[in-house]
Copies of this chain bind each other. A is one copy, B any other.
Amino acid sequence: MMRYKLTIAYDGTKFYGFQIQPKDRTVQGELEKSLKIMTKGIDVRVHGSGRTDSGVHALGQVIHYDYPGELSEKAMFKAMNTLLPKDLVVQKVEVADSYFHSRFSAKEKIYIYRLYNGEVRNPFTRTYASWHPYPLDIDRLREALTYIEGRHDFTSFASIKDPIENKIRTIYEARVDYDSEKQEFVFLFRGNGFLYNMIRILMGTLIEIGDRRKEPEEMQRLLKLKDRKQAGPTASPLGLYLKNVIYD
Q: Give the B-binding residues of A (Cβ under 8 A).
A: 9-11, 57, 81, 86-91, 120-124, 126, 128
Task: Report yes or no: A120 in contact with B10, Cβ–Cβ below 8 A.
Answer: no
| Extra A-B contacts (9), CB below 8 Å, given A11-B124, A57-B124, A87-B126 | A9-B124, A10-B123, A11-B123, A11-B126, A81-B121, A86-B123, A89-B123, A91-B120, A124-B128
User: In angstroms, how far is the closest chain B Cβ from the Cβ of A193?
Assistant: 26
Instruction: Write the nearest CB–CB distance from A85 to chain B, whole angstroms.
Output: 9
Query: Chain copies in the assembly?
Result: 2
Min distance, Cβ A242 to any Cβ of chain B, angstroms: 13
- In the assembly, what is the distance between CA of A166 and CA of B121, in Å? 39
CB distance from A235 to the nearest CB of B (A): 19
CB distance from A162 to the nearest CB of B (A): 28
Q: In the complex, which residues of chain B have a beta carbon less than 8 angstroms from the beta carbon of A120? A: 81, 89-91
Can you name 23 A-B residue pairings with CB atoms under 8 Å?
A9-B122, A9-B123, A9-B124, A10-B123, A11-B123, A11-B124, A11-B126, A57-B124, A81-B120, A81-B121, A86-B121, A86-B123, A86-B126, A87-B123, A87-B126, A88-B123, A89-B120, A89-B121, A89-B122, A89-B123, A90-B120, A91-B120, A124-B128
- In this complex, the member of A9, A57, A90 whose beta carbon has the largest number of chain B beta carbons within 10 angstroms is A9
Chain B residue with Cβ nearest A8: B123
A11: chain B residues within 8 A (beta carbon): 123-124, 126
A234 to chain B, nearest CB (A): 22
CB-CB nearest in chain B for A91: B120
Q: How far is the CA of A11 from the CA of B121 in the complex (A)?
A: 12
Give the distance in Å from the alpha carbon of A121 to the alpha carbon of B84 in the complex.
11
Expressed in whole angstroms, the minimum distance between the Cβ of A62 and any Cβ of chain B is 15
Min C-beta distance of A120 to chain B, whole Å? 5
Chain B residues near A87: list those with CB within 8 A.
123, 126
- Identity of the chain B residue whose Cβ is nearest the Cβ of A124 in the assembled complex: B11
Most B C-beta atoms less than 10 A away, residue of A9, A123, A128: A123
Q: How far apart sit A169 and B126, CA to CA, in the bound complex (Å)?
A: 36
Closest to A57 in B: B124
